[in-house]
Amino acid sequence: MSDVSARVENLIGFIEPYRDPAGIRSEWEAMMGIADLDETSRLKRFVESSTVIIRQLPWAVEGVNDGNSPFEKSLFEVPDFTSVHALAVCGSIVFEAANLPNYEYIRET
Ranges of H-type helices in 1-109: 37-48, 50-54, 104-108
pLDDT at 87: 92
List the chain domain ranges.
1-36+83-109, 38-81
Q: What is the DSSP letter of 28?
A: E
pLDDT at 36: 93
pTM: 0.59
Containing H/E element for 16?
none
Q: What is the DSSP letter of 81?
A: -
Mention the CATH class of domain 1-36+83-109: alpha beta
Residue 6 neighbours by CB under 8 Å, 6+ apart: 35, 82
Q: What is the pLDDT along the chain (109 residues), one digit of tens a residue?
A: 566 667 888 888 887 767 777 777 778 889 999 999 999 999 888 888 888 888 888 888 888 887 777 777 777 777 777 888 999 999 887 777 776 666 666 556 5
For 43-62, give the DSSP string.
HHHHHHTHHHHHTTSTT--T
pLDDT at 39: 92
In 3D space, the residue among 30, 46, 43 whose CA is nearest the CA of residue 94 turns out to be 30
pLDDT at 26: 78
**Distance from C-alpha of 21 to C-alpha of 70, rounded to nearest angstrom:** 31
Q: CA gyration radius for the chain? A: 17
